[in-house]
Structure 1
């Protein structure tokens, strides 16, 4: 699976389980769409994604259906 295919899969995520499987299937680093920084941690819970960036105090939170607008593989 290439980066383009991974990002297409990210757009289709509709549940916590789908997101967990997608993250598990790849060891690619995720990056912030706006900041370009590498995502350090991502927590998927109750339909929301919470994420932090490496070497940054920026924290993000969004519904998993919207996550592709904030992070990319």
Structure 2
């Protein structure tokens, strides 16, 4: 069994270790497979390589940060 995970490349090795452990356990618990049958493959992408709702993730994140900054400045 192969579980393929696509995610942003900023995740740490510790996060990937925990993810692999929990995904493997979930496969064992829900599908009844043996742990040794489970392979987790991580595919890492940078934000400019992703688009959501027709907009690059890097652009969406920049807009979100700008909105947060504007909101914080409005509180001051």
TM class by smaller structure: under 0.3
Relative to its length, the structure with more helix (as a share) is: 2
TM-score for both structures, normalised by structure 1: 0.26
